[in-house]
Structure 1
Amino acid sequence: MSPSVSHLDPGAVCEHLYSLSADAERVGASIAGVIPRSERSVAFSNFCSYVSGELKQVAGHFPGNTPGLAWSCRNLFEVNLTVRYVLLSEKNFTEWLGQALRDERDFIDGVLTLAEANHAEQKSILLSRHEHLGGMAKRYGLEFSRPFQVKEIAKAVGEEAEYVAMYKLFSKYVHPSSLLINNWARKGPGLEWINIFLISAQRYAGDTIERLRGASGTSETALA
């Protein structure tokens, strides 16, 4: 990864980020072509697509939307921790797959709670999907797993210090903090803050793709 691109003009920075995004997509496509289709190959490819999308978001946020940049950097940090954690064991990977079922079930439960009485047809569709999720869990031997606690998986992969440090920075932007409202919302942060989010986002993205590439055995070059 480039150690810093913030000294370049915004157009050059965005071009670099879009190039990294395309690289991530290529690695994902290569993974899909190397590993026979399975839950693992699909998941690895999906991880790559997600990283690619977040890099596009970083490009879209830079340089004027620092809160958006912080959000994307945080997402790339969390997906990096998640990838590292699920690669530790099959149990972790299976638990992560089960989270998708629980997430969708929770989403449906929330919508059903808010649905009006006159939405009977829509509620019926959602209830049918709810039941289908239970069947999928039984068919594939998955649990409706709770989402990982980011602090815990950071500790498990040896990144607890990074977690503590970065979340102190993220919290000033992803929440309506006093600092954001009373200062940065009007005049914006210093360049050093933008640098931290911009460089960290690239670093997390590159590490994630490299780990997925290595775990899949593909020879496609990761982000450089």
Structure 2
Amino acid sequence: MKKIYTTLSLILFFTAAFAQWGSVFHNHQQNNQVYYPASSATAALHLTFPATNNYTITIGAQSLNFYGSQFFLENMSAGLQMVSVRYMTTTTNGSAWQTTYNGAVNFEANTRLFATVDAYGVLRITQREAIGQIPPVNPQPLPNVCPTPQQPQIVFATQQQADDLVKRLKNVTFDSKKVLTAKNALKSNHYTAQQVKQLLLTFSFDSYKLDVAKYAYDMSYDKANFFAVGDAFSFSSYADELEKYIASK
């Protein structure tokens, strides 16, 4: 009988000890967060340019086109990556892309880089900002978080498309009818400032040219080079009127 009591006492003792140890182990697991491996770390870039223009930014194997003077890219892969910056410029042969920066940039893990590219093509990092710690496994979604806006993909009309439009306008007899044809084309495709100038030269009267030029400016992603359109007018007063219209925007 004494052996039975002794055995029961030992069983109760070890059961209580195991339960207490299991509780401590469980709490220890709850108080430790498990993180993603370092390879899942992200980076971000905020790039500022000296002028508003059409730019193509290539980071690694990803290329983005946008119009403006500030570029934002979130959720990038951290590490050393090649960065190339091109912008739209006007030459004697029309508009063309020109490279202003091409080099390697080290995107630090969980860091947002603020940088500028000046008129001489020099990239300078002006500020570093911590994005935050690496998120835990199976994180809860944050409320009211807005997604990163996507930059629009801008594809300009080819020179062949512009030449075809010029030929079509030349076959239209009256300027009043050319206006409708030109506006429909400008609404359905993106034309450079130089291409807009070419189609305006098919008009006989500056008043119709001005009407189309204003419409083209509102639709244009090549506003930085729109000064070239003024050369299409026969009278400087209409070119001045276009300049005033652009300045009012």
Quickly name the TM-score band, shorter chain normalised: under 0.3
TM-score, normalization by structure 2: 0.20
The structure with more radius of gyration:
2
Tell me which protein shows more helix as a share of its residues.
1
Tell me which protein shows more strand as a share of its residues.
2
TM-score, normalization by structure 1: 0.21
